[in-house]
Copies of this chain bind each other. A is one copy, B any other.
Amino acid sequence: ADAKAGRAVARAKCQVCHGIDGIAKMPVAPHLAGESDIYLQTQLKAFRTGKRENEMMSVVAKGLSDEDISNVAAWYASIELSVKVPE
């Protein structure tokens, strides 16, 4: 998969809600930063087949090829995540 090509897909189709950095720009959207490749691909394909439904994602996913899905998943999976847990 080509994470750089995936960043272009993210810029065109994902950034408004998810950000290029994978930090959600609105509460209804999840963060994608650092999610695993398998999780991202599974969810995008589920939205594309209708196994998972969301009024926004069902439409967006229909416009993604297998290659787009593989590349955009590689992009978001390549983002490094760190957390600060409350005491």
Chain A residues packing against B (C-beta within 8 Å): 3, 20-24, 27-31, 33-39, 42, 51-53, 78-86
Q: Which residues of B contact A86 (CB under 8 A)?
A: 3, 78-79
Interface SS of chain A? loop
Question: Given A3-B86, A86-B3, A81 and B30 touching (CB < 8 A)?
Answer: no
Alpha-carbon gap, A25 to B6, bound state (A): 25
Q: Which residues of B contact A35 (CB under 8 A)?
A: 24, 30-31
9 smallest CB-CB distances across A and B, nearest first, come from A27-B36, A80-B84, A33-B83, A27-B38, A21-B85, A82-B82, A79-B83, A30-B39, A78-B86
Q: A34 — nearest CB in chain B belongs to which residue? A: B31
